[in-house]
Structure 1
Amino acid sequence: MVPSLRLRGRFRPWYLLDVAAFLFGAGGSLERTLAGELTRGPAAIGAITPFDVVVAVASGLLAVVVLRFTLGNVWAYAVEYANAGGRWSDLAFLLPVCGGVVALAVTYATTSNLWAAAWAGFWIFAGLAAVVAVVASVAAGYADVPA
């Protein structure tokens, strides 16, 4: 089989998000390593040790794991909500998603730390999703009780 045909069957466009997350994590790690060395110009590249490379690769892989975990949970929430008969335009669906996005934006605007913003956005999303689930469950329970 032609290699390009085999690759076409396995490659998905969203894998580019993984590559971008890896480059973001590894690049950020190398940037922090070279923060004080950049004034030396090209000689700063010599300041990178093998340990720095391992840390950069680990940071890149961690960024991919965080991306997959976050997007996977949000996507699972959306699919389960739709499978339960809801629409993605319902307030019960939009409240946690929009709350998470707002928390991400506000945290990033105040701290300029993308990791902290992603962490805050995810946990606000998860907390609001839990609150919405409990409120919907209680409301459904009271709706089934005969008057």
Structure 2
Amino acid sequence: MVEATRLYRLINPSDCITFRATLDEAACMAAVFRNSMLFVHDEETDEAPSIENAAAIRDAIFASADRIAGYADAWDSLLVADRHERFLFEKAVEGMSAEQRQQFRAEYHDRRRTSLNDICSRAWQIAIDLRACEPEAA
């Protein structure tokens, strides 16, 4: 069974940032963001993603190529947009090629971002790095 993604909001002092992730991915991302005093909330419930035994979940993600890819997609989904703007953005890129989407996202990001702390670009780099990872042996 594939876990459905949900929309999450990154609580930070400047730009409104949202991303799509499974509960496991969001909880692992929240642990990373907490190190920078940034917090994650579910857009629907306004609750922080919480899972039992986060270390085991993290290990499970990094033991599977499919789960690493999903985790990378979650990091790659960060966008300076509230839920309504995100809906419009996603509709706008729906029929675009991957290259066109990347270019549109970069231009959109440059126009929308107000913070010098470029959280989304850093997240996109994490996604690139994750895609280069091989699953860890159990």
Q: Which has the higher helix share?
A: 1
Higher relative contact order (CA 8 A, sep 6+): 2
State which structure, 1 or 2, has the greater radius of gyration over its C-alpha atoms: 1
Q: Which has the higher strand share?
A: 2
- Shared fold per TM-score greater than 0.5: no
Q: What's the TM-score bracket when you normalise by the shorter of the two chains?
A: under 0.3
Q: What TM-score comes out, normalization by structure 1 length? A: 0.27
